[in-house]
Amino acid sequence: MAPTEKANGEDESSSIDGDRNNQQHTRRITHTFRRRKTTTIRGRRLTEYDDNDKNITIVGEEREPTHQEEQQHRREAVSSMSFFCGITAGVFQAGIFNPFDRALYLSITNQVPFLRHENFRNPYTGFLQSVGHRALSSGLYYPLENFFCSFLVPSHSHLNECEEILGQNPGMIHLHPALANFLAGTFAGTTNALMVNPVTAIKYKSWGRDFNRGMVTEAMEMFRKGGLRPFTNGLYPTVLRDLCFGGTYTFLRLELQYLFQLRPDQQWAANMTAAALATVVSAPFNLRKGRYNFCDITRFMRDARGQQTTWQRMRYIQNRLRVGWGTVRVAIGMAFGHLVYDSLMGMYEDYDDEREIKLKQHNQHHQHQHQ
């Protein structure tokens, strides 16, 4: 194996200096949740996590994933277990952050400060009625991102090498890593919006009734009266907001992980930062989602400019775009959800590996007995 270089700059051997030029052209590998072999940096050079010295080791030997490995990664990305882990992460996220969400909702509807004690009374009121929708809306993004990442293969250092690899691995897409990350997040956000918006429409419809008739009955009644149209209410602004958020979030979190060469136990910081920035970037679409028309948006900009000081203008925009405690909630929630999802996927893959090893040992033992 080629010499390795520690992330803190300490050389393992004198031959490393001669290999640094080659490391600048290190080929990139696809995203994987294998905790023992690689970090979760999509489309970047191979890294390993060393349990002994807690440092990242950059592997000097350049290697591309084989076609069999690519197929295995794709099977894992589209497996039912991936979506089960995502929904489970969404349930955990909805349960833990329900008091925060309820307090945030009450502070907006009652126009009172968020940290008022009254906002945190009965923190789990209505939780059972909304846990399914919230788990779906927050938990689907993680497996969808993994799914689209598995089909977007980043570019390589040399064109002839890239063409050779693409020829050996049909179905790969030649994209720059940053663009692949952005597109994966965009597709994940768009798909998430398309899947969750009908459920949201049913939920809002049921909220307007004195008694709960059940989601299935409500959906059938909506379809009988209006066909598919009631399920598409608010779809356009929701898709715009979620694709903007998804593209920004996935792009930033994976680029930050690669830029700072974060270990798996450090990647929550990149995820939290990326989620906060993505929330700010996608915040203007909340105006459109709130059924504001062009005149309303023009009035909003005029009112913002009409504030006396720069601080007042910033406060006005912040309040209208709901940038603040809501941003903190999304940042912490996304980082927590991704941590749970990665952990569950890692445990499942460890279990799957152990099962394969035991199966091979059993087959070998069975063959020896027949011999």
- The three state secondary structure string of 5-30 is EECCCCECCCCHHHHHHHHCCCCCCC
Sign of CA dihedral 53, 58, 59, 65: positive
In a domain, 21, yes or no: no
pLDDT over 70 (residue 292)? no
Structural domain range at position 201: 66-283+322-370
Task: Calculate what percentage of the chain has a pLDDT beyond 90.
Answer: 32
Query: What CATH code is carried by the domain that includes residue 115?
Result: 1.50.40
Mean pLDDT, rounded, for 95-100:
94
* Domain presence at residue 41: no
Q: What pLDDT score was predicted for residue 92? A: 96
Q: Does some domain include residue 288?
A: no
| Percent of the chain surpassing pLDDT 70 | 67
pTM value? 0.74
Among 13-22, 74-83, 157-166, 229-238, name the one with the lowest average pLDDT. Answer: 13-22
The model's confidence at residue 149, banded by pLDDT at 50, 70 and 90, is confident
pLDDT surpasses 50 at 315: yes
Residue 316 contacts by C-beta under 8 Å, 6 or more apart in sequence?
303, 304, 307
Q: 10 falls in which pLDDT band (50, 70, 90)?
A: very low
Rounded to whole angstroms, the Cα distance separating 225 from 227 reads 6
Residue 182 lies in a domain: yes
AA letter at 33: F
- 60 in a structural domain: no
Q: For position 75, what pLDDT does the model report?
A: 57
Q: In what order do the strands lie in the sheet with 47-49?
A: 5-6, 56-58, 47-49
Query: Which range among 15-29, 106-120, 246-260, 278-292 has the greatest average pLDDT?
Result: 246-260
| pLDDT at residue 335 is higher than 70 | yes
Task: Report the mean per-residue pLDDT for the chain.
Answer: 75
Is residue 199 assigned to a domain?
yes
Domain contains 233? yes
Under the banding of pLDDT at 50, 70 and 90, the label for residue 49 is: very low
Range list of H helices, the chain: 16-23, 67-78, 80-96, 98-109, 127-139, 141-149, 159-168, 177-207, 215-226, 235-259, 267-282, 285-289, 294-305, 310-321, 325-370
Amino acid identity of residue 128, one-letter, is L
| Within-domain flag for 226 | yes
| 5-6 and 56-58 beta bridge pairing | antiparallel
The pair phi, psi for residue 42, each rounded to 5°, is: -75, 125
Cα–Cα distance measured from residue 54 to residue 52, given in angstroms and rounded to the nearest whole number: 6
Number of domains in the chain: 1
